[in-house]
Structure 1
Amino acid sequence: MLSVVHSLPGRTRFHLNSSFSPTMIECFIRSLPHVYSATYTQETGNVLIHHDTAVSFQALKKSLQQLFAKKQKGKIQSFSWEKLVPTVTCTTMFLANWYIQRSPFSTAVKNAGHWAAVITSVFTSLDVIKDGIISLFKSRKANANTLTAASIFASLYIRNPGSALIVTIMSTISEWLTDYTSKKTKEYIHSVLELATTYAWRLNEKAVEEKVALDQVQVGDTVVVFTGEKIPVDGMVSRGYGTVDESSITGEYMPKETGKEQQVYAGSILLNGQLTILVEKVGGDTALSQIVKLLEEAQEKQAPIQNMANTLAEKMVPVSFGLALITFLLTRNVNRAMNMLVIDFVCGIKLSTATALYASIGKAAKQGALVKGSNYIEEMAQVETIILDKTGTITEGTPVVQQVISCDGYEQKEVIRLAAAVEKSSSHPIADAIIKQAEEWKIEIPVRDENAQVDTVIGKGITTLFQGKQIGVGSLHFMKELKVNMDHFVHHLEKDENIIYVAYDRTLLGVISIFDRIRSGMHHALRQLRYQGIHDIIMLTGDKRTVAREMAQRLHLNWYHAETLPEDKVKYIKQYRRNSTVMMVGDGINDAPALAHANIGVTMGRKRTDIASEASDIIITSDHPKVLPELVRLSKKTMNIIKQNFIFTFLINGGAILLGALGIISPIAGAAIHNAATIGVVLNSARILWIGG
């Protein structure tokens, strides 16, 4: 419902009833051409819109009606009454016919009730009957619907339309449950798609915001995002501060405080504040677009157990027909033979397996992990060895200064001041750590001599001139090459530290120890992985052996391999794969070959590279390692549920077939037992969606 409350040129207030959230309502309205701002008040249901004065409120109202009609149409409904029409119709007719046949009505009325039940059972099952017959003649192969159609016609042949109605009722309910579960898992994908925007506020040459279509925005442009708006691009914040909801991208429900030089992603919502963003990725290159693409592709990849379930289900169809024929030949009893048709293993196995795997992918997506196919869910449940890259995976990947030790006669600030003077021209992560330390201590970084070059010796260090004398920053070996006097220097450092020496005029000023912090939550994540049955956790790193050994001891890892090159990582992956199922977790370009060779490759964190993401099978979009054990737990739970469904389906339907063959139960009871079992296993699969919350 949409009505105009008040209107002035360029300013109109509407009353709007909508099931969308206030933030989404504002985002939808701002996407319209000529609309500058929209503010929705939930308490009153009113939305205040500022727009181009050339646009009348009648034209604006029409645009809004079309917009929300389109959005509502595209919104996934978790419940569809249309799906239950056949069930309600068949149930009503079954009860009515049952009452008529058992009451002292005339023969004409009973016949009318019988034929009404026959017509209802046929018309409510037309799609099933049509598909079953087409499959038989077109593919020359019977499917589950062929079996259902045969059981319906057999019921009608023996003048028992009640049995046909029961088949329709129960099969419709089980299909609806499967459809419901699939839609619940699709809601995440749909919510991501909803977050796509069509416009951006781009800064022009005069630094004035102008509203432009998103396809006009290019890499290198600067855009502004206001409170309540969706961020339209991936980029770096150049100015401003705000709170951003990144749940659609990372799976983290807590909003993130964002400021200068921090990364933001298309599809996130700016809850408050204002951000100026330097555009790095647009369109199909954004993280949002990649997520949607991966989720769509994941639906097409089937796990081996799903293929097995489908194959087994197909093979059981002729078995059911064969059992029906054998039973009829032995007993000459149509009712007993019909039990073989109304009771089968097809639906329970096929529907529950597909539902479980699809629900598992949806659940993983909600937790911030993109699984590229259901086959990886099955394989992850069998993982015995996890291999972790160190930098950027176990650690944060951002070196920081841990300690500054100065030599006699010098202060700590002097060591950082001169080190920063030479390192400020470097893009090395260690240089960033030193510069940040200088900023933290509020040290004014001196300027090197005019025309002085910065000489970098890869793997050793860096030098420049200051006040006519040489500053050198680097390794102990580099200091020896520079002939730095170190005779009177004594230091005590932890053995796992990366030590950087700082010298001026061939005199050692002091040392700076650099370390890379272990990710918050990594200890707990590793303990949880062991609890999930992962006994071998191994680290690969290009770092020195002493650093790797200390890290492995801190985390209680089974083993580590230090000073490894990308080709070495592949060698170790192949080595461990000979005896166990291996999951490799990394984030960088150098991890890509190893990720591709592992049974399951996982990239983790927001700093992951595109190449690593392409090579991996699972992408964890957040920086929190807790998602790793949650994924392993989810995969094991999913496979356990699938196995439970197999056992329940065979036990219940097998027992019902035996009872039907012996004539202990009627076709109606047989159909009820079979379909109730199918509904049960589908519900068992659907509970994956609610595991853990």
Structure 2
Amino acid sequence: MRFEVLHVSSKRVRIRVPFICSQAVEQKLITLASQQDNITYLTFYGDEHSFQVFYKKDHLFEVRQFLTAIDETLLKETYQEGATDPRLKTPFDIIFDSLCNRFAFRYLIPAPIRHVMTLYKTGSFIKKAYQALRHQKMTIEVLDCLAILTSISRDQIDTASTIMYLLNLGNDLGEWTQKKSIDDLAQTLKRPVPPVWVRLPNGEKEQKDSFLVGVGDELVVEEGSEIFFDGDVVDGTGYVNESSLTGESLPVVKARGSKVSSNTVLVCGQLVVSVTNADANHNLLDLVNLMTDSKEMMSKHQQQLVEKADQFVKVNLMGISLTYLATGSFEKALSFLLVDFSCSLKIATPVSYLVAVKKAMESGVVVKGPKYIDLFPEIDTFIFDKTGTITEPTPKIVKIQPFYDYTEEEVIRIGACLEEHFYHPIANAIVQEAKDKGIVHKEMHGELEHVVAKGVRSTIGDDKVVIGNYKFICEEGITITDEQQGILDTIEQQAGILCLGYRGELIALFGIDNPPRVGIDKVLRQLKESGKQVVLLTGDNALHTEPLKKLVEWNDIITDTTPKDKFKVVSRYKQEGHHVMMIGDGLNDSAALSEAEIGAVMSHSSDVARHLSDVIFLNDDLNDLFKLEQICEDLKHKLNRNLKWTVAINSTLIGFGILGILSHKQLALTHNMTTMYLIGKSLA
């Protein structure tokens, strides 16, 4: 595929392509990107030719390879197949269409018919005002209706028509702004779907790319996995967490004949699901609908601003009365009807929150609702899980102790040769160590025997070789000298132990641990310096946790915790009056994540933890806490600015109306233009 690189940063690259990225093409590119391990997601620009690729740090070369390998012919065919897909209009389209319709109405339709049509259109404004008054609400719709009826009563039909035209144009542009912010957010929420396991007619399983899944395919869902497609259970029994859809945390029993929904999690058991909807993540965008439609998802501050906007209507009505009493001029008093304070605030406020959520997503932070944007600055206590949050998620070799005449290279080669056949974090650690040090490990062993939860048994030549935990090595009759036992006890105080035995002797010890994340000490110190409490929770023992004490002066470190213990710790801090954010990554953190005011997880977290969380750090980087803090600060500044500008600009316009500087038509037009300007600034 031909492409031009417009901009490159450490984790994203902006691309321009010579063809049009229709909705169908966008979806195809997203699907192709989902098959790449180091590409997180794509976002597309409104010019239909540019998009951004977000990728894991230090993997830009793989992004270039991915883009180069795409078949442009395939994309052109995709474009032609989806050529009828509707696209969102631009503001220019809306204004141009509106002006054309206005010109035709004003100059091509005879005045008597035009006046009748104007009176007919008044009905919709009267209906909206009536509904507001019926609910005892003094809203912007009441002001609009009063302005139109006042013009009609003064035999100014054309003025009433112009006011309705400008109001409708303002509404159309407001709806476009709202729709664009929602569409942008929905686009950023699209996430790649991994390949799935499909049961074949002969009962065997095969892996299949998600975009190839069709209705009727039978998907095998294992315990702890996310369900990506709607379907019917045809085999198996399990408990499914549907909290992402229903808000209820208690898992629901699913068996043969039950229906399951996408974006839910199988927390226990195994299911075979017959697909009924081939669109993956069908329910994911319900999150966007919640953000935009549900008052429950609104933050308190957002609700207060919207309510304050309605209160401004009373200011307008008071202004009408006072101006008329002071001047005796109904013309001047009408300025308060044509310029209302509430319009821009009621549109700009939710737009500002949606833009903040979108900016967080672009920075690698998924925030599942505007209310968490407001809650975050109030957090004074950050509680961290240890493994996978403070430390790296995957274990690494931190100590190698060979014995006798064996070198480090020799014992790594033997260990990697044995472990490369098994998918297990500890096995991967030694294989990765060989890869990092460039040690080639050709097969030198005989038949392998994997002993579950213990280790691996095999032979090299005619001699027995074993690798595994201490108990397994002893059971296999490997001799451990007193000196070796002392070294083993010392290493075991700081790391897990993997033993390698050959020819009846212990020839090496590997210390395995999850080292602290790079830069985590700076993150913790910065939180402490800003007056926050930092607490560490871990199911690990005190000895293995000892090295982490050096990272920062923790407010509390609690070891040997169970999931119930973590839940109780979060509850205790909340009862003491603290605002708590819990950051974890595993199933064992799920209860604590739900209990905290904000539950956050890393990108590699378990599916259950991701669903129960309120925030997801896609970059696996806790420095993004400070990016989120800045986004919250920017939002606060934007909301305050919108309020001040709304009062200042509209007060000035009303003054111009009272002084006769602007006519009623000019006042209505200028008011709509300034309102759209404020809304446009909220989109930035």
The DSSP-based 3-state class of the residue aligned with 2:186 is helix
Q: Distance in 1 between matches of 2:443 and 2:26?
A: 46
Q: TM-score, normalised by structure 2?
A: 0.65
Pairwise mapping of residues 105-184 of structure 1 onto structure 2 (< 5 A)? 126=122, 129-136=125-132, 139=135, 141-158=137-154, 164=160, 167-168=163-164, 171-172=167-168, 174-184=170-180
Q: CA distance change for structure 1 residues 444 and 650 in 2, over 3 Å: closer, same or farther?
A: same
Partner of 2:249: none
Partner of 2:312: 316
Partner of 2:579: 581
Pair 1:68 & 2:68 matched: no
* 1:234-267 superposed Cα distances (whole Å, 9 cap, x missing partner): 9xxxxxxxxxxxxxxxxxxxxxxxxxxxxxxx99
Pair 1:295 & 2:288 matched: yes
Does the Cα contact within 8 Å between 1:463 and 1:473 map onto a contact in 2? no
Partner of 1:442: 441
Q: Distance in 1 between matches of 2:637 and 2:562?
A: 39
Q: CA distance change for structure 1 residues 372 and 113 in 2, over 3 Å: closer, same or farther?
A: same
- The counterpart of 1:635, out of the listed 632, 635, 651, is 632
Q: CA distance change for structure 1 residues 618 and 325 in 2, over 3 Å: closer, same or farther?
A: same
Partner of 1:59: none
Does the Cα contact within 8 Å between 1:358 and 1:374 map onto a contact in 2? yes
Aligned-residue offset at 1:356 = 0.7
Aligned-residue offset at 1:361 = 2.7
Partner of 1:512: 510
Q: Distance in 1 between matches of 2:192 and 2:91?
A: 23
Partner of 2:371: 375
Pair 1:684 & 2:677 matched: no
Q: CA distance change for structure 1 residues 343 and 626 in 2, over 3 Å: closer, same or farther?
A: same
Q: Structure 1 counterpart of 2:482, which letter?
A: M
Does the Cα contact within 8 Å between 1:471 and 1:503 map onto a contact in 2? yes
Give the CA RMSD over aligned residues: 5.6
Pairwise mapping of residues 127-276 of structure 1 onto structure 2 (< 5 A)? 129-136=125-132, 139=135, 141-158=137-154, 164=160, 167-168=163-164, 171-172=167-168, 174-185=170-181, 186-187=183-184, 189=186, 214-219=214-219
Aligned-residue offset at 1:175 = 3.4
* 1:56-115 superposed Cα distances (whole Å, 9 cap, x missing partner): xxxxxxxx97x4354x22x33344624554456669999x9xxxxxxxxxxxxxxx9998
* 1:622-675 superposed Cα distances (whole Å, 9 cap, x missing partner): 445454433332232122211221222234334555676788876556545644
Q: Distance in 1 between matches of 2:446 and 2:577?
A: 58
Q: CA distance change for structure 1 residues 397 and 647 in 2, over 3 Å: closer, same or farther?
A: same
- Percent identical among aligned pairs is 23
Aligned-residue offset at 1:608 = 1.6
Larger Rg over CA atoms: 1
Q: Distance in 1 between matches of 2:89 and 2:659?
A: 45
Gap regions ≥5 residues in structure 2: 1-17, 33-69, 222-227, 231-261, 264-271
Partner of 2:538: 541
Q: Distance in 1 between matches of 2:517 and 2:278?
A: 28
Does the Cα contact within 8 Å between 1:217 and 1:282 map onto a contact in 2? yes
Partner of 2:89: 77
Aligned-residue offset at 1:435 = 5.5
Partner of 2:22: 20
Partner of 1:342: 338
Partner of 1:550: 547
Partner of 2:394: 398
Aligned-residue offset at 1:513 = 1.4
Once the two structures are overlaid, the 10-residue window that deviates more, 18-27 or 609-618, is: 18-27
Gap regions ≥5 residues in structure 1: 1-15, 31-37, 50-63, 97-111, 222-231, 235-265, 268-278, 688-693
Aligned-residue offset at 1:613 = 1.8
Partner of 1:250: none
Q: CA distance change for structure 1 residues 516 and 470 in 2, over 3 Å: closer, same or farther?
A: closer
Does the Cα contact within 8 Å between 2:320 and 2:337 map onto a contact in 1? yes
Q: Distance in 1 between matches of 2:20 and 2:452?
A: 64
Partner of 1:646: 643
Does the Cα contact within 8 Å between 1:536 and 1:558 map onto a contact in 2? yes
Number of residue pairs matched by the alignment: 567
Q: Structure 2 counterpart of 1:20, which letter?
A: S
Pairwise mapping of residues 326-341 of structure 1 onto structure 2 (< 5 A)? 326-329=322-325, 331-341=327-337
Q: Distance in 1 between matches of 2:167 and 2:116?
A: 18
Q: Distance in 2 between matches of 1:411 and 1:303?
A: 61
Q: Distance in 1 between matches of 2:19 and 2:484?
A: 79
Q: Distance in 1 between matches of 2:404 and 2:192?
A: 60
Q: TM-score, normalised by structure 1?
A: 0.64
Does the Cα contact within 8 Å between 1:549 and 1:560 map onto a contact in 2? no
The DSSP-based 3-state class of the residue aligned with 2:392 is coil
Q: Distance in 1 between matches of 2:495 and 2:538?
A: 14
Aligned-residue offset at 1:179 = 2.8
